[in-house]
Structure 1
Amino acid sequence: MAGSKEVFARRKQGKIDEAYELALELVEAPGAGEWEQSALAWCLIDLIKRESANRDDARLEACRAQLEAILPSADNEILATHRDKALALCRPEGRLLAEAKTVSQAGNAAQAVALYRKALAARPGDADIQTSLGWELYRHNKQLLTQDAPNVGLVRRNLSDYLMLAVGKPSLLHSCMLKQAAQLAGQDSLKMLAFSRLWNLDNLSGDDFEPYQTDDGKILPALAEKVIRLAAKDVIASCNQDDLDYLQPYLEDAIDRYPDSLWLRHTKAKALLALNRHGEAMQFVVLVTKAKPDEFWTWELLGDVCAPSDPDAALACYCKGLTCSSDETFLGKLRLKLADALIAGQDFARAKCEVERVIVHRRASEHKIPEAAARITRQPWYAGTEPAASNHDYYKARAAHAEDVLLHDLPWTSAVIGERFTVTTAEGKTRTRRRIYLASGDGMPKEVFVRESDFPFRDAGSGEPVQVKGEFRPGDRYHVYKIERRAGADWDVVPTRVGVIDHVNKDKQLAHFIVARGIDGVIPLATLPGPVCEGNMVAVRMARFTSQKCDRYRVLSVEPSREQADAAVFRRFESTVRTSGDMGFTTDDIFIPPAVMKKAGVEDGEFVSGVALLNFDKKRMQWGWKAISASASEWP
C-alpha cells in the first residue's frame, strides 16, 4: 500500500480528493500512527478551504468533524496552526473571510472591505481579521486614489477606520497608510498634524527615514521628512503652542537626520514665526536666506521676522526681495507688506505704487483684488496721492541694508581676486567662474570661486585687493555672500614663500619644489630663466584648494630667489659615510644616492660635506633627508 508520502505527492498535484481517500485507507490500516493522522489532517485542511469557497455546508461540516477529532502532537506547531485556521473557516465568519480573500484576489477591494467588516463584527478583537481589513482598506484607497476624480471623503473614511484597528506597529501596513495620508495632505485634503497624532509618529520605522529613489533615479525625501513637514504646515496654520510642543521633538530629530534639508528649517522658522517666537525663528530664517539669497520669499520671511523689533530692517528686506523676481504672479503679498511698511513711514507715493501694481496685475489676470489691497485703497490718503512712477531704484538703494541684516554676524575676510576659468556643466554648457584667494591665519590663502555673473567688478584684474563675507557649507563648499573693494596692495594676502627645487624632469619639462613638509608644487621649466637644477631656490606665491577631499596647492607665481629655503627642507651637512652597496648614509641618516656617491668618489668611513633636501620615501611612506650633492672633506 502507498504510504503518507504518496498522499502529500497527490496533494501537491492538486488531486485533493484522491489524496483524501488514500489518507483514509492509511488511517484505517493496522499500525497507523502520527504520520498517517497528519496526512489525513492536511487533506481535510485542503478540503475545508475548497468547500468554504464553494459554500458546500454539508461537506464542510463533515470535514470539520473529522479534523476536530485529529489532535496534532505538541511539537507539530505548523499543522496545529493551519488546523485552527481551517476550523475557523467552518464558522460563519470564517466563510466571510474566505469570500473576502477570493474577491480581494479578483481585485474587488471595496467588496472585500465590506466582507472583512462583517467578519470583524462577528469576531471583535481578532488580530488577524483586523490586519486583513487594514490591508484591504489600503488596497481600496490605492484604487480610489488612481481615479481621475477620487472620492476623497471615502479615502479619509478608510484612513479613519484603519486608525481604530489594533494592528502591529511599526509595520509595513502602518507605513503604507501613512503614505496615503501624506498624499492627501499634500493636496490639502487632510490635516496631517491631526492624523499623525492618532497614527503616532513614534511608530515610524527605519525604512520611513530612508530617502526614496524613483525608477528614473530621482531621489525624493523620506516619508518621515515629508510627513513632519506637512504636519508643521498645520502648526503654522493653527498658531497653537500645544501643536508645536507635540511636533517639535520630531521636527528637531528630522533636522538632525537631514542636515541638508533646507525646507525643514524653513518650515520650523515659519512655525516659530506663527507663534510670535521671532528670536528663535531668526536663526533658522538666516540659514534659509543664506542658502537661497536669490529667492524673493526668503527675504520676505526675514522681513517678517524683523518687523516687530526693527521695522526699517523689515522694509529693507522686502525691498531686497523685490529685486530677486519680476514674476508678479507670486509677488502680491510681498508688495502689500512693503506698502504697509511704507505707509508706516508716511511714504505714501511709494506705497501707492506697490498697491497699484498688485491691483493692475490681479485685474489683468482676472483674479479677485486681495482684501489687504482693498483695505489700503480705503485709507484717507490714498485717493489724493499720486503714485511714484517706479520704486526700482528705491529697492536697490535699500537692499544693502537688508544684506547687512543678514550678514551682520559674519566678519569681513581680506582677499584678492584671482583669474577667470571655465567649467562644463553636466548639460554640456560652458560657465565662467572667478577665483578668489582668502587670507588665512596660517599664511596659506584658501582658494574659492564665484560665478562670473555674481562677481560685482567685471573690470578687476588678478591680485586686486577685496574683502569678502562668506562661509563654508557642508561639503567644504564656500559660499560668497558679498564682495567689496578695500584698500591694500595687489596680492597682499598671498605671501611669498621660499622653496627649493628637489627634482627636475627634463623629458616633461617640469620641476618639483618643496616649501615645507606637505607643501609643494610642480612648475614648468619655462617659468624660470636659465637652466634649472636641484637645489635652486625659488620664491613662490601659492594658494590652498580642495580637490577630491584633499588639500592641494596652486602656484600663482614663481621666480628665482637669493634667499635660502627653510632649514626644515634644506640643510648643509658634514659627516662620515657608511656604505651599503653603492649607496651611502651619514651618521644622522642622510641618504646619499648612488649617482651622488659615484660623482663624489667617497668610500666607506670617509668624511664628506654636502647639501641635503627633505624627501618623502613613497616605498617606506616616511619623511627623511636625501643628499643632492656631496664631496670628500678633511676631518675637522
Structure 2
Amino acid sequence: MPAKEIKELRQSGRLEEAMQMAKAEFEEQPDNIWTKRNLSWVYYEYLKANATPDNFEDFVSWLNQLAELELPEDEKMLFDSLSFQVGKLLFALTREEPVSVQKINQLLGLVRNFHFTKPSEGYSFLLKGFHKGLKDTGYYLDFINWWGIENLSEQDHQKEKLPTGKEIMALAEQIYIAYAKHLLPQRDMQGNVNFDREKAEEFLPKLEALAEKYPNYQYPPYFQAKLLLALGDTEDVLSALIPFARKKQNDFWVWEILAEAVESDKDKVFSCHCRALLCTSPEEMLVGARQKMAELLINKKLYNEAKTEIELILQVKETHGHKIPGVINQWVSQAWYNEAKALDSNKTFYRQHSGLAEEILFADTPEELVFVEFVNADKSMLNFIASEEKFGFFKYDRFLKKVQPGEVLRVRFNGGAKGGRYNVLTCKKVNDDSFKSQFQKEVDGPVKIKPGASFGFIGDAFIHPSLITKYKLSDGQNFKGQIIKTYDSKKEKWGWKLI
C-alpha cells in the first residue's frame, strides 16, 4: 500500500497528488480500513486548509466526504484532530457580523456522528465554539443534550486565566448557566408559555450537585432557585437561593428573586422590595424595581413615598429618551399624585421595613436573646449580655430607632469577641420577662454612702454618682428601684448596678 507516499505528499503540501493516490487506492479496496484511513487524512488536510468563513462551503463539502467514509470509533486521532479544525471555524464564524447561526447549526448536524474522545481537550474546544455560537438560540438545549454535560473535564471546571491576568468564569459554570436559562419558562410570539417540566426536574439535581462540589461558583444556586420557582417548589427554593443571595446581597435583583420565593407572605414580599432599593445600582437598572415598589406603595396608600419613586422613574425615562409606561401615565394623572408631596428619598423608609427581608437571608443562623445593659444614643451603640460567657457591644441603628437599657432583643450574630464588638445580622425588640429576670430585678433596702464618697451601694448593687444626684439619695435612706447585671472589667467579675 502507498500509505507512506500519501503521507509524504500531504505533509509536503502536494494535496492533489495525495488525493489522486488515496482515491485510487480506496476505489480498489473500499472496505479496507487502511485505504479509508489514508483517504481520511487527506480529507483532513483539505479541511484544515479551508477552516475559514470564506471557505465555509468547501469545508462542509470535505466534511461530508469524510462522513461518507463511515470511519470506526477507534479512529480517535483523526476525530480529535478534526475537533480543533471545526472549533477553529466556529470561533471565526462567531466573530462575523451578523453571526450566521444557520451555518453553525449546519456544522453541528455534520459532526454529530463523529466519534470524538470524551472528555478531551479537543471535545471541550468544540464545546466552546458551539456554546459561543448557539447559547442564545433555540438550538442550544439540543446541542448540549448531544454533547453531554457529563463529558466536561476537570479542567473545564476551573477558571481560565488570560495573559492579562484576568480570570474568566469556568466553562462548566457557563454551560450549566446557559442550559438552565433555556429551561426556564419562555413566552413565544403568540404569548404562550413553553416550559418542559420533565427536563427541568431532570436537570435540577445536576445543578445542585455542581453547586455543592464547586461552592465558589456564584450563579448555579440562582438558577437552581429560578427553576424551583418555575416548578412551584417554594419549600426548597429558599435553601437553594440563600447561599447565593448572601454573596450577592448588594445586587437588587437578588432581593426580587427572594420576593418571588416568599410571594405568599405579603409583608415579606414588601420587605424584600424595600431591601432591593437599598442597593446601589445605576438608576436605569432600578426602573423596574421602582415601578414594582410604586405599585405596592399606592396599594398601601403611601402616596408621598409612591410619588418619590415615580419621579425617579420619570427622570430616568426623560434622560434616556425612553417611552414612559402606560401605567405610570395613569398614576400621574390621578388626584392622589397631584396632592402627594415627594420626599427627598425613601431610603429611611426602606431601612425601617427591610428587617423581614434580612431575616429571610439569615434564617439558618440561630437567633439569640440579649439584654440591653447600656446605651450610647449619640453613637448608636449598646452594651448587651447574652450570658456570663457572651457579652459585648454592637451598633444598632440599622435595626432600631431607639433602645433603652433593660430591654430584651432577639439578635443574629455574625462573629465577635467576648467583651468586645459583635457584628449583627438581624435585631428586633421582644418581650421575654423570664429571660429579662436573669439580668434585671427589683431591690428594696437602705442606701449606703461612705463619708466623702460620690457613689454608693444598695445591697451589693453599685449606685453611680449621677443616680445619687438624680434620686437625691443619702446614706441610710430606704430606696426601692431596679438593678441590672453588669460586668466589671477592672475586677473581671459580675455584679449589679442601680438604673
Partner of 2:14: 53
Partner of 2:221: 265
Partner of 1:170: 119
**Quick one: distance in 1 between partners of 2:283 and 2:224?**
27
Deviation at 1:436, TM superposition (A): 10
**Quick one: distance in 1 between partners of 2:103 and 2:58?**
15
Partner of 1:210: 158
Partner of 1:278: 234
- Mean Cα deviation higher: 195-204 or 382-391: 382-391
**Quick one: distance in 1 between partners of 2:47 and 2:322?**
51
Alignment of 1:39-78 (within 5 A): 44=5, 49=10, 53=14, 55-56=16-17, 60=21
SS state at 1:262 partner = coil
Amino acid of the structure 2 residue aligned with 1:204: L
2:18–2:42: 8 Å Cα contact kept in structure 1?
Answer: no
Instruction: Tell me which protein shows more strand as a share of its residues.
Output: 1
Partner of 1:233: 181
Match for 2:107 among 158, 164, 173? 158
Deviation at 1:126, TM superposition (A): 5.1
Percent identity between the aligned chains? 22
Alignment of 1:244-255 (within 5 A): 244-255=200-211
Deviation at 1:231, TM superposition (A): 1.4
**Quick one: distance in 1 between partners of 2:4 and 2:53?**
29
**Quick one: distance in 2 between partners of 1:368 and 1:249?**
42
Partner of 2:246: 290
**Quick one: distance in 1 between partners of 2:19 and 2:60?**
26
2:319 matches 1:364: yes
Deviation at 1:330, TM superposition (A): 1.1
Partner of 1:302: 258
1:49–1:89: 8 Å Cα contact kept in structure 2?
Answer: no
Deviation at 1:269, TM superposition (A): 1.4
**Quick one: distance in 2 between partners of 1:58 and 1:197?**
36
**Quick one: distance in 2 between partners of 1:402 and 1:560?**
39
Q: Which whole-Å deviations, capped at 9, do the CAs of 1:417-475 have from their partners, x for residues lacking one?
A: 9xxxxxxxxxxxxxxxx9999968xx76599x99x999889xx9xxxx98741347xxx
Deviation at 1:374, TM superposition (A): 1.6
Partner of 1:575: none
Q: Which whole-Å deviations, capped at 9, do the CAs of 1:2-24 have from their partners, x for residues lacking one?
A: xxxxxxxxxxxxxxxxxxxxxxx
**Quick one: distance in 2 between partners of 1:170 and 1:84?**
25
Amino acid of the structure 2 residue aligned with 1:135: F
Q: Which one has more relative contact order, counting CA pairs under 8 Å at least 6 apart?
A: 2
Alignment of 1:490-509 (within 5 A): none
Alignment of 1:4-403 (within 5 A): 44=5, 49=10, 53=14, 55-56=16-17, 60=21, 85=34, 87-88=35-36, 95-101=42-48, 110=56, 113-125=59-71, 127=73, 128=75, 131=80, 133-147=82-96, 150-184=99-133, 188-189=136-137, 192-238=140-186, 239-307=195-263, 309-325=264-280, 327-347=282-302, 350-369=305-324, 373-375=325-327, 377-378=329-330, 382=334, 385-386=337-338, 387-390=340-343, 392=346, 393-403=348-358
Deviation at 1:251, TM superposition (A): 0.1
**Quick one: distance in 1 between partners of 2:19 and 2:491?**
106
Amino acid of the structure 1 residue aligned with 2:163: D
Q: Which whole-Å deviations, capped at 9, do the CAs of 1:521-540 have from their partners, x for residues lacking one?
A: xxxxxxxxxxxxxxxxxxxx
Q: Which whole-Å deviations, capped at 9, do the CAs of 1:582-604 have from their partners, x for residues lacking one?
A: xxxxxxxxxxxxxxxxxxxxxxx
1:175–1:204: 8 Å Cα contact kept in structure 2?
Answer: yes
Q: Which whole-Å deviations, capped at 9, do the CAs of 1:400-423 have from their partners, x for residues lacking one?
A: 343345445630364999xxxxxx
Change (3 A) 1:482 1:220: same
Change (3 A) 1:414 1:103: same
Change (3 A) 1:49 1:215: closer
Deviation at 1:485, TM superposition (A): 9.4
**Quick one: distance in 2 between partners of 1:313 and 1:364?**
33
Deviation at 1:255, TM superposition (A): 1.1
Amino acid of the structure 2 residue aligned with 1:280: D
2:271–2:353: 8 Å Cα contact kept in structure 1?
Answer: yes
2:355–2:399: 8 Å Cα contact kept in structure 1?
Answer: no
Change (3 A) 1:310 1:149: same
Deviation at 1:274, TM superposition (A): 2.9
Change (3 A) 1:55 1:229: closer
Q: Which whole-Å deviations, capped at 9, do the CAs of 1:250-294 have from their partners, x for residues lacking one?
A: 101111112233322122112222333222212233333333443
Deviation at 1:243, TM superposition (A): 2.8
Match for 1:482 among 426, 431, 435? 426
What TM-score do the two structures reach when normalised by structure 2?
A: 0.64
Deviation at 1:248, TM superposition (A): 0.9
Partner of 2:459: none
Deviation at 1:217, TM superposition (A): 4.1
Deviation at 1:43, TM superposition (A): 5.9
1:282–1:302: 8 Å Cα contact kept in structure 2?
Answer: yes
2:368–2:386: 8 Å Cα contact kept in structure 1?
Answer: no
Change (3 A) 1:180 1:237: farther
1:323–1:396: 8 Å Cα contact kept in structure 2?
Answer: yes
CA RMSD of aligned residues (A): 5.0
SS state at 2:354 partner = helix
SS state at 2:426 partner = strand
Deviation at 1:230, TM superposition (A): 1.7
**Quick one: distance in 1 between partners of 2:360 and 2:11?**
76
Deviation at 1:313, TM superposition (A): 1.9
Deviation at 1:389, TM superposition (A): 0.9
Change (3 A) 1:162 1:343: farther
Q: Which whole-Å deviations, capped at 9, do the CAs of 1:161-185 have from their partners, x for residues lacking one?
A: 3334343323322222222233346
1:255–1:261: 8 Å Cα contact kept in structure 2?
Answer: yes
2:469 matches 1:469: no
Amino acid of the structure 2 residue aligned with 1:120: L
**Quick one: distance in 1 between partners of 2:101 and 2:268?**
45
**Quick one: distance in 2 between partners of 1:397 and 1:116?**
69
Change (3 A) 1:481 1:112: farther
**Quick one: distance in 2 between partners of 1:251 and 1:352?**
42
**Quick one: distance in 2 between partners of 1:200 and 1:59?**
38
Gaps of 5+ in 1: 1-39, 69-82, 418-433, 473-477, 493-541, 543-555, 562-636
**Quick one: distance in 1 between partners of 2:282 and 2:5?**
73
Amino acid of the structure 1 residue aligned with 2:268: A
Q: Which whole-Å deviations, capped at 9, do the CAs of 1:190-226 have from their partners, x for residues lacking one?
A: 6644432222212222322233333344444322222
**Quick one: distance in 2 between partners of 1:163 and 1:220?**
28
**Quick one: distance in 2 between partners of 1:437 and 1:344?**
39
What TM-score do the two structures reach when normalised by structure 1?
A: 0.52
Partner of 2:192: none
Amino acid of the structure 2 residue aligned with 1:469: R
1:51–1:57: 8 Å Cα contact kept in structure 2?
Answer: no
1:467–1:485: 8 Å Cα contact kept in structure 2?
Answer: yes
Q: Which whole-Å deviations, capped at 9, do the CAs of 1:216-241 have from their partners, x for residues lacking one?
A: 44444322222112211222343442
1:272–1:280: 8 Å Cα contact kept in structure 2?
Answer: yes
**Quick one: distance in 2 between partners of 1:467 and 1:116?**
73
Q: Which whole-Å deviations, capped at 9, do the CAs of 1:467-514 have from their partners, x for residues lacking one?
A: 741347xxxxx964136799999xx9xxxxxxxxxxxxxxxxxxxxxx
